[in-house]
Each structure stands twice: as C-alpha cells, then as structure tokens.
Structure 1
Amino acid sequence: MSFGSFSLCKELQQSLIEQGYTKATAIQQQAIPLVLEQRDLIAIAQTGTGKTASFSLPMLQLLTKGTAATDNHIRALVLTPTRELAAQVGQAILSYSSLTNLSTTAVHGGVRIEPQIAKLQSGVDVLVATPGRLLDLYTQQALSFDKLEILVLDEADRMLDLGFVDDIRHIQKLLPIKRQNLMFSATFTNPIRLLAEDMLNSPATVEISPETSNLEAISQRVHPVDKNRKTELLIHLIKSNSWNQVLIFCRTKHGADNLVTNLEQVGIRGASIHANRTQHARTQVLGGFRDGSIKVLVATDLASRGIDLSRLSCVINLDLPFVAEDYVHRIGRTGRAGHKGLAISLFSDDESKQLKSIEKLIGRTFTQTLVPGFELAIKPIVDESDDDLYGNFEPDPTYLKQTQKRSKHTKSGSNRSRSKRR
C-alpha cells in the first residue's frame, strides 16, 4: 500500500515523496487510518517497523485542520523514554511537516532549560518530550496543556522499564480528559495493559506479528569465543570486513569506554555512548556516527532504542544482555527500511543462560560458528539437567506467550477494542 492511499494533505504527501517514502509498512497500513478516525490506539510492534511515521503522519494531518498553537499552549504531546529518542522523533516530525505551517519542538534533560522555555513561549503544535523535563517545564509554567488534543506514548514498555510510571500518571492528571491517546510499544505485558486501561478510551489494537517485523531481514550469527579473547576477535572481525558502520553493545559503561580505548590503540576510530556521558557529548557522538566520521559506536542498552540509521551495516553484541528482550531491541538497529542487516553475538561459556533465554524468546536455536584462529581453549560444558536453566534470564512470560501466539498466525495484525477509563 502506498502513502497516497491515505487521506493526507498534499504538503505531507510531498514531503514523503521528497524523502523517498513510497510503500507503507504493515504497522503504518493499519495504524494510520485508525488515528485519522480519531480513535484511541494501542500499537504493538517490534522496533524498526516504522512506528514513528505511524503516529506522526496522521497526527500532523489532524493538526492541520485546527487552529495553530498560541501563547505557551501545545496541541500534541509525544512522550519518549530517552533523550536520544526524543531528539530522533522530533527530527522525524520536523521533516514530515516541513512543508506545513505546523511547529515542532523536542525537549529533554541534559541541556539548559532556558532555550526550551523560550521556544515554548509562542506555543507549539507538537511537543516531543521526556517525562522529567516536561514536568520541569510545567512546574516553571513554561507550557499549558489546556488545549492539548493528542497524547502519544512512544516506547511505552521502555518508559515503564526505566521507572517513569509515576511521572506518566502525574502527567496524565494534568491533561484534558477529552483527548486522543496513542500508545506504541514493542511488548504488551501486564503493566502496559494496566496503563492502557487507565489512560485510553475504547482503543483499537494493532499487533504486528514477528513474521512482519524486521527480524526476518537480519542475518543472526553466534561466534563462541573464550571470554578473554572477545576484544581480540572483535578487532579481527572489524578489520577483516568492509562494514561502513558498526554498532557494538557492551553490558557496562566502564566496559564500553575500555573497548573504545582498545580499538583506538589498533587504529580503529570509535566512540562510546552511555548514561555517564553528557547530553552534549552524546549528541556529538551520534552526529559523528551518522555522518560517517566515527565508524564504530560502542553503546550500553541506553542506546538500544535511540539510534535510527536506515543503513547500519552491522550490530555486534560483545556481551549478551541479561534481559532477552533487549537482544531484539539491540539487533533491531540494523535491517531497517527494507535493507538487509547483520547481527553478530560473541558468546562465551559464562553466558549460556542468556543465550538459551534469547533462543527461547525468538523461537530459534543458533548455529554456533567458530572463527578460524579463535578455537576454544576449553570446550564449554552445559548441564542440561539443570531445572533452573534460565534462572534470572527467563524472558518475560507475557511477552513470550504473545510472541509465540502471534507466530502461529499469518495475519499480520488485528483491530480489537478495549474500554475502561478510570
């Protein structure tokens, strides 16, 4: 289905043409018409499936029919869990609305609040914000929710993971009761369901099955290696392959910084991004990675949902994540926008439980391939009789059950209604 099939104004249609957008993804095909009908919506889909455009385009279309924001009012609010995602979503909305008269501003912590207050003085049609900075601005009376028409919760599951549930409920109490609510999430666990029941009014539900997510476009490889040779193998892989850009995930901030130092010692320019970096430093690093001046970006899971590159060559897990779902979010940075992707995991024997948990979550068993020259010093021993094989690495049972249920159906989505406002 092309974007021309939707009832979007000529300005939005033209901006999509100029950016090379032609065919709508599965989530866009189902979500956009429902948002245009001004329905509340729950949209469940993996990262990299086009969720931002799914809510941005119809939201902008609805806003073009109203009166522009004035004073310090905002008309649409998009809440995101991280600073990087706020900046990314804000930039996407700016590009979609470039030919309209709608205004968009992104606000988040880590930078001075005064310039953000100044931007809000004359009103903003679309405000993209992290919860903490939004409440700071509200406390300083820099904005008003009186004329809010649309609320979007982007990456709702991640916001709950990061402990923003109290902030979200506080923000909810400040908003007009009559509004359109859109919730986008990669998972639909019990906490997400409860939040949806509390905030949304008779929502339609769109679920995109794993078959239509970008995981099918990603070649996933696992290389067993002795733990003390992981960095050596990583350097070998980077130097022996012609990858334009590589995103590497480490488990800790200290490990990410040490890896950058090791890479630079062998002539590989890299940079790290994690919670201890200032917002200015993180912005600079992401800018360098996007323009190609930085070839290798080393990140903790802070960045797993905050980096959007349409043609990222490769994602490498130097360390397997403790939470199986984070594996999906990490590798979802590649294989986007219709392109093929490559995800490599360097696996040591002490990560057996994580690997088993990931395999259980995605419903496949990896073929482990030794890289010549990196044969294992000691053959790993796995105790298959261990009744607690997954231990603390067990995937979220609700997420796993829904993933397995959806994988049995070829239908990519469904619309259902839920009702309850507390």
Structure 2
Amino acid sequence: MKFTDLGINDQILKALEDEGYTHPTPIQAEAIPILLDRKDLLGCAQTGTGKTAAFTIPILQHLYNSKNDHKGQRKVRALIVTPTRELAIQIAQNITDYGKYTGITNVVIFGGVKQRSQTDELRRGTDILVATPGRLLDLISQGFISLKYIKYFVLDEADQMLDMGFIHDIKKIIAKLPEKRQSLFFSATMPSSIIDLSSKILGNYQKVTIKPKQATAEKVKQAIYFVSKPNKSKLLIHLINENPNASVLVFSRTKHGADKIVKILGKSQIKSAAIHGNKSQGARQRALGNFKDGKLNVLIATDIAARGIDVEDLSLVVNYDLPNIPETYVHRIGRTGRAKASGIALSFCNIEEKAYLKDIQKLINQQIPVISEHPFVDDEIESAPIPKGPSKNQKKKIKHHSAQKPRGGETKNPNQSRRNASKKRRRY
C-alpha cells in the first residue's frame, strides 16, 4: 500500500513525497481512512511508528477542504494536547512539514518560557493549536484562547498524561470543547485507565491497535548489565569510550541524578548535557539542538524531558537507572530504532532494581540478554533472588492510588494539593 491509495489530497501527498514518504506504516494505513471518514479513534502503536502523521494528515486534509469556512481572523479549529514541550515542538514541526502546500497554519504553546511571543502568534490567528495542558489552561483563563470553534481534538501520549498527573487538567480542557467534534486518543501503551477514560470522552469510536511481534521496538537490540550502583558511572564512561562516535542518550530516574552524571562525565573529559524539568526551555532546546546536530554526542535525560526526542541515527540508549514503571522502558528504548533504523538499548541493573527488571521482562514478554563480560560485572547481583511479594513498582502504585482516593474522599490538604498540581503543570 502507498499513501496515494489512502485518499489523501495532492497538496499533502506532495509534501510527504518531499519528506521521502511513499508507504504508510501500519498505524497510518489503518488510522488515516478512519479519520478521513470523521470517526473518533483510540489508537495504540509503538513509539517511532508514525503516530503523529497518522493524526495530522487527516486533520490537515479536513481543514484544507473547509478552509473557506472562516471569515476574518483564523479561528483555532484543531487542538492537539501533549505532555511535554519537546513533543509539542516536534508535532508542530511535523504539521508544518506535511501541510506546507495547504496554507494551513499552526501555533505551538508550552510553559517554561514567557508567554508574549506565543500570545502574539495567537492574536494573528491560527488553524491548529499544539499545546501542553498547563499553558493552555493559563491562556484560556486570560482570554487569549477560545475552544468553541474546535472541530478536531487530539490527546497524544494519553498514558503519560495520566502518569504525569494531568488528568484534572485534561477534564477541564475537555469540558470547554464543543460536544460536536472528532476526538482522537493516541498512545504507545494502552493501560486500562486510558481505556476507561476514552470510553467516557470519545463518542462512537473505533480502536486501532498495532501489535508488534514484541512489545519493544523490534529493530532495537537490547542487553542488560548487572553492575553495582557505585560502578554505574565507570561502566558508562567505559561504554562511551568504546563507542567514541556514537550518539548516546542516557536515562536518569531523577533530575539530580542527570546533573550528577554530567559532572562525572565532565571529569573524564566527556562532554554532555542534561535536559529535565528544572532546566529552562532555552537550555533544553540548546542541548537537544546540539545533540541532533552532532555537536554533542551524549545527552542525559529524565523520562518527562525525553518525550518528543526524535533524533535520526540515534546509536545507543542507556538506561543508567532502570525505570520503576515497566511501560516507561518501552518508551525509552523507542527513542532508537525508529522508523526503518536499527538501534541498541543497554540497561544497568543493581541489586535494588532486579524487581524492576522482572516487571519489564514480564511486560515485553522476553528475557533481555545479559552481558557478563565487562570490567565492572557483579556476579552476586545476577545470582541474587528477586524479593517475593509486590515489587517496588507495585507498592508505589498501591501507595499512589491510596493517596489519590483516601477514605474520607478528600486529600489531607486540598489547597496544598492544588498548589502542587499547578506548579507541576506550569513547568511543562
């Protein structure tokens, strides 16, 4: 099948040809006809399989076909909500690329920067708005944005929206949307919480799930290193020195940990940069830009900041800390092996992280090969039994849900909870 078989108009086909795209990915081949037919959709496919094009192409075509409907200043008719700044910027760029012959415009807004340049663009009018939840609600409350003309609504990375605590913001946004609209939910994973939410928000929707042979990106070669916590930095330096020309994306569980890794690598004359929620938008964009341009070979990231990182020919992903949520592992290693490329994902596992490894291997339904020949191998970790009972991940989930819904139906300090939620959302 080719894009020319999907009923896409000539203006968009020409732009796709410019990008070198002729054949749709499975999620694109299944989703685009449904969306062109104006039906609601719940779509699930691996990271790196082309979900963004799957929802932007139909929206561009609908808007192009009805572009004469508006009079005077352009009204926002399509809204795409996504969890992070980086992902919002990436989506907006894709819309620009695919829609460059249509005359359809887009604006991207996110927190962490002054709003003046964003509000100036909004005043000029736009067809498509790409936004993170916090900044969107802020500008709606200030009167810069109206959602009453929205005909197309996309919630991208829906699972991460819930994990990042955006559920209340999402509900506020949806409450402001017109009832008559086309709604699209897209995600790389589809936990029961997303299915429950979608059934309440989507209309008579169709579901598209692209199930690969394995849960993780099929062209990503995976391996695990059992290494003690003090030796993780030494192993990372060893791997970077063994692959001097490789582009390496390193995942840290915490912001402090990411900054610490940068300092440790610097002492070994390895230049790197960190991106996380405490970094300014300018710093994050400079670091990511230098990494994409090849001026910087090593980038350290937390999970939230890494959303939207799409780097061509990314050689290596390193899980310096194993994630305590197994689905996060899938997202992380999906940064490499994108589209038709191949990649390598290496993970460090200390004794405390063995329970996380068990959860990950259960989710992806495969055993990750162990590399036992390296200078910092720790045989005791590999042979140590995994503790019985709930894993740390399961305990955290139990604790999280009990905190969300205490017996009394109220949080201990609702005002403080609201303040914390507001701080968190403004950051992204």
If the length of structure 1 is used for normalisation, what is the TM-score? 0.89
Q: Deviations over 1:40-72 (max 9, x none)?
A: 000011211110000001110111011355536
Work out the CA distance in 2 between the residues paired with 1:225 and 1:43: 38
Work out the CA distance in 1 between the residues paired with 2:228 and 2:292: 32
Q: 1:86 touches 1:128 (CA, 8 Å); kept in 2?
A: yes
| 1:399-410 superposed matches below 5 A | none
Structure 1 unpaired stretches of 5+? 398-422
Work out the CA distance in 2 between the residues paired with 1:234 and 1:30: 41
Q: 2:251 touches 2:302 (CA, 8 Å); kept in 1?
A: yes
| 1:12-411 superposed matches below 5 A | 12-67=12-67, 70-71=72-73, 73-211=75-213, 215-376=217-378, 378=380, 380-383=382-385, 386-388=387-389, 390-393=391-394
- The alpha-carbon deviation at position 258 of structure 1 amounts to 1.2
Q: Deviations over 1:113-147 (max 9, x none)?
A: 12111111132111000111111111121122222
Is the partner of 2:253 in helix, strand or coil?
coil
The amino acid of 1:233's aligned partner reads L
CA gap 1:304/1:396 in 2 versus in 1, 3 angstroms: farther
Work out the CA distance in 2 between the residues paired with 1:230 and 1:39: 49
CA gap 1:393/1:319 in 2 versus in 1, 3 angstroms: farther
- Over the residues paired in the alignment, what is the CA RMSD in angstroms? 2.0
Q: 2:32 touches 2:54 (CA, 8 Å); kept in 1?
A: yes
Is the partner of 2:345 in helix, strand or coil?
strand
- The alpha-carbon deviation at position 3 of structure 1 amounts to 1.2
Work out the CA distance in 2 between the residues paired with 1:132 and 1:71: 25
Work out the CA distance in 2 between the residues paired with 1:100 and 1:189: 36
Partner of 2:407: none
Is the partner of 2:153 in helix, strand or coil?
strand
Deviates more, 1:116-125 or 1:35-44: 116-125
Work out the CA distance in 2 between the residues paired with 1:111 and 1:153: 22
Structure 2 unpaired stretches of 5+? 399-428
Work out the CA distance in 1 between the residues paired with 2:221 and 2:324: 21
Q: Deviations over 1:63-93 (max 9, x none)?
A: 1011355536201000001111111111111
Q: 1:72 touches 1:120 (CA, 8 Å); kept in 2?
A: no
Partner of 1:418: none
Work out the CA distance in 2 between the residues paired with 1:129 and 1:112: 15
- The alpha-carbon deviation at position 374 of structure 1 amounts to 2.2
- The alpha-carbon deviation at position 376 of structure 1 amounts to 2.5
CA gap 1:371/1:389 in 2 versus in 1, 3 angstroms: farther
The amino acid of 1:3's aligned partner reads F
Q: Deviations over 1:349-403 (max 9, x none)?
A: 221111111111111122311233223275655236x431634358999xxxxxx
Q: 2:226 touches 2:382 (CA, 8 Å); kept in 1?
A: no
Q: 1:353 touches 1:393 (CA, 8 Å); kept in 2?
A: no
Is the partner of 2:348 in helix, strand or coil?
strand
The amino acid of 1:154's aligned partner reads D
Q: 1:323 touches 1:395 (CA, 8 Å); kept in 2?
A: no
Partner of 2:418: none
Work out the CA distance in 2 between the residues paired with 1:8 and 1:196: 27
Q: 2:44 touches 2:190 (CA, 8 Å); kept in 1?
A: yes
State the aligned residue count: 396
- The alpha-carbon deviation at position 187 of structure 1 amounts to 2.4
Q: 2:222 touches 2:369 (CA, 8 Å); kept in 1?
A: no
- The alpha-carbon deviation at position 242 of structure 1 amounts to 4.5
Q: 2:227 touches 2:381 (CA, 8 Å); kept in 1?
A: no
- The alpha-carbon deviation at position 2 of structure 1 amounts to 1.6
Deviates more, 1:354-363 or 1:242-251: 242-251
Partner of 1:419: none
Partner of 2:419: none
The amino acid of 1:119's aligned partner reads E
Q: 1:72 touches 1:121 (CA, 8 Å); kept in 2?
A: no
The amino acid of 2:192's aligned partner reads N
Q: 1:304 touches 1:329 (CA, 8 Å); kept in 2?
A: no
Is the partner of 1:330 in helix, strand or coil?
helix
Work out the CA distance in 2 between the residues paired with 1:10 and 1:396: 49
The amino acid of 1:100's aligned partner reads T
- The alpha-carbon deviation at position 194 of structure 1 amounts to 2.3
The amino acid of 1:2's aligned partner reads K
- The alpha-carbon deviation at position 227 of structure 1 amounts to 2.0
Partner of 2:412: none
Work out the CA distance in 2 between the residues paired with 1:380 and 1:152: 44
Q: 1:357 touches 1:393 (CA, 8 Å); kept in 2?
A: no
Partner of 2:409: none
Work out the CA distance in 2 between the residues paired with 1:222 and 1:379: 12
CA gap 1:56/1:11 in 2 versus in 1, 3 angstroms: same
Is the partner of 2:346 in helix, strand or coil?
strand
CA gap 1:367/1:63 in 2 versus in 1, 3 angstroms: same
Is the partner of 1:388 in helix, strand or coil?
coil
Q: 2:15 touches 2:101 (CA, 8 Å); kept in 1?
A: yes
Q: 2:226 touches 2:381 (CA, 8 Å); kept in 1?
A: no
Work out the CA distance in 1 between the residues paired with 2:354 and 2:333: 19
CA gap 1:311/1:380 in 2 versus in 1, 3 angstroms: closer
Work out the CA distance in 2 between the residues paired with 1:204 and 1:174: 23
